[in-house]
Amino acid sequence: MATDPNEKKGLELLAQADKKMRSAAGFFSSIFGGGSKIEEAAELYVKAAYALKMAKKWKAAGDAFCQSSELKLRMQSKHEAATHYVEAATCYKKADPNEAIRVMMKAIEIYTDMGRFTVAAKHHMTVAEIYETELVDMEQAISNYEKAADYYKGEESNSSASKCLTKVAHFCAQIEMYDKAVEIFEEIGRNAMDNKLLHYGAKEYFFKAALCHMCIDLLNAQQAMAKYEEMFPVFSGSREHKFLKTLMQACEDNEIDVYTEAVKDYDSISRLDTWLTTILLRIKKGISDSPDLT
């Protein structure tokens, strides 16, 4: 028996909604006024969901939101159905990430059918984040960030598309899909070059592309550097460019101490994040079996 007053209220509202649905399913009701009872039941399911949400009964709240969504679809109220699927996914996320994804994909399908591609992109990002943080499935995270980027591009939301693609590139590098990571970093870098507000920031993407090249092959990395210098002269005068040159020379000369010192110097000015540390460690393993950079 429920002791939380919100849970008790939620269960009572669920019972009322179920009763309303049973009465709507009767022969005469289905002919005369069944639609209004279905609408009333849908609203009761929503009220029940909010009460259960306040009681932190996440699965029950998600189920109630889904029941409302299904009724809203029967009533051709697609926007409300999608909204409640999203709310259901938010609840499920706290209890069952896989169920949250399943329901969010239903919402995405509705939004894409309605032509609401920016909203669909936003929810693909949410799905990607669940795969990234809750389920640690990088391939599915990549897939959903790519879908989000495609939708954002189609709606001319280029800044949002770049954010998604940057995530894709980082993940690709993490799972050693370096060629794809390079391709994406270079694409974002070229796009940034053509934008006055983002122009200077393009060097970061060419910097990361070069590091990915170094994970594959030093000669390719050196050739890529020459291409970046010609294409984007600002890059040549940057600290990132100097750092890369030092790393490449250290790799070529098999100078582990020079490599390590260069990383320390760079880290003292620009603190290395987890991604950079991982990539730099992999490059270092090409010239040493040492497990760390210090």
pLDDT tens across 222-279, in order?
999 999 999 998 888 899 999 999 999 999 999 999 999 999 999 999 899 999 999 9
DSSP per residue, the chain: ---SHHHHHHHHHHHHHHHHHHHHTSHHHHHTTHHHHHHHHHHHHHHHHHHHHHTT-HHHHHHHHHHHHHHHHHTT-HHHHHHHHHHHHHHHHTT-HHHHHHHHHHHHHHHHHTT-HHHHHHHHHHHHHIIIIIS--HHHHHHHHHHHHHHHHHTT-HHHHHHHHHHHHHHHHHTT-HHHHHHHHHHHHHHHHT-TTTGGGHHHHHHHHHHHHHHH-HHHHHHHHHHHHHH-HHHHTSHHHHHHHHHHHHHHHT-HHHHHHHHHHHHHHS---HHHHHHHHHHHTTT---SS--
Instruction: For residues 5-15, give the mean pLDDT.
Output: 94
The 10s digit of each residue's pLDDT in 67-76 is 999 999 999 9
> pTM for the full model?
0.87
**Band of pLDDT at residue 1, cut at 50, 70 and 90:** low
Mean confidence (pLDDT) of the chain? 91
For residue range 210-230, what is the model confidence (pLDDT) as tens digits?
999 999 999 999 999 999 999
